[in-house]
Amino acid sequence: MDNIKATFQAVIFDLDGTLLNTLEDIADAVDRMLSEFGFSGHTLDDYRRFIGNGIKLLVTRALPAEGRAEELVDACVKRARDLYWEHWNRKTHPYKGIRKLLHDLEDRNIPKAVLSNKPHDFTARYINAYFPDITFEAVMGQSDLFPIKPDPAAALEIARRIGIPPSNFVFVGDSVVDVRTALSAGMYAVGVAWGFKGVEGLAEAGCQTVAKQPSEILNLFSSLSA
C-alpha cells in the first residue's frame, strides 16, 4: 500500500464483496426468481456486474428488456427479496482475514461502521449473524432515511454519530460506487482486491489505496497504539 502519513481514527466498511462473500446466495435467489417468471438465469460473473446499486437495480439488470415494465419489476423485486430472505446464508462467508482484521481494529479501540446498499434488514441480519462479537458503532443499509451510495449522506451521518471528522475516516469497499461515496464524503477511499468487482476502474474513480489483503488496512492505523 502507499505510504500514508495522515492519522485515521475510524473506518466504514462496505458489506457485500468487502466483509462477506454473498455473491452465490444473491445469484441463487435472483436466478430462482427469474425461473419462476419464465426468464433465463445468469452466470456469477454477470451478477458481479449487476450488484452494487441496490436490489431494484440488481433485479432490473437481471431482467431482459421485455421484462422491465415497472409493475413487473416491482413484482420481481418482491419475489427475489423473499427468496433471498429464505436462503440468505447457504453459501455466504467472511473473506479470509476479515475476522482477524475486525478483532485487531477492536483491540485498538478504532470505531467501525458498515454502510451497504443492501436493504437495511438484510445488512443488520448479516452483521448480527457473522460478526456477533464485533462492536460496530453504526450499521446502515438501504432505507428510506438516506439515499443509497454513492450519495455521501449516510456516510456523513455515520461520521456525525461517531463524532469524528469525515477526513479522519477510512472508507473500505470493493466498487467504484464505494470510491465515489468516500470521496464525496471527504473520506479516504480504500479499494479491496478480493471483492466482486476487481481492481479495474478503482484508480480511475479516484481510489487512493487498494488493499490486496485485509491486514493491509490495519497498517493505516499503525500510528495508533494497540
DSSP for 29-79, written as a single string? HHHHHHHHTT-----HHHHHHHTTS-HHHHHHHHS-GGG--HHHHHHHHHH
26 vs 24: CA distance, rounded Å: 5
Tell me the β-bridge partners of 172: 13, 190
Please give the positions annotated as active site: 14
All residue ranges of the chain with pLDDT < 50 are 1-3, 5, 224-226
What is the CATH number assigned to the segment(s) 10-21+93-221?
3.40.50.1000
Whether the pTM exceeds 0.85: the reply is yes
HSE-CB for 167 with a 13 A CA cutoff: 2
DSSP annotation of 13: E
pLDDT given for residue 222 in this prediction? 73
Domain definitions of the chain by residue range = 10-21+93-221, 23-86
Chain segment 131-150, per-residue pLDDT in tens: 999 999 999 999 999 999 99
CB-based contacts of 186: which residues, under 8 Å, 6+ apart? 152, 166, 167
pLDDT given for residue 197 in this prediction? 86
Alpha-helical runs (H) found in the chain: 23-36, 44-50, 55-62, 70-86, 98-107, 120-130, 153-162, 176-185, 202-205, 215-218
pLDDT given for residue 2 in this prediction? 46
CB-based contacts of 155: which residues, under 8 Å, 6+ apart? 12, 115, 149, 166, 169, 171, 181, 182, 184, 185, 187
pLDDT given for residue 223 in this prediction? 53
Q: At what angle do helices 70-86 and 23-36 cross, to 10 degrees?
A: 130
147 vs 199: CA distance, rounded Å: 25
96 vs 99: CA distance, rounded Å: 8
Cβ neighbour number for residue 157 with a 10 Å cutoff: 17
pLDDT given for residue 198 in this prediction? 85
CB-based contacts of 106: which residues, under 8 Å, 6+ apart? 112, 134, 135
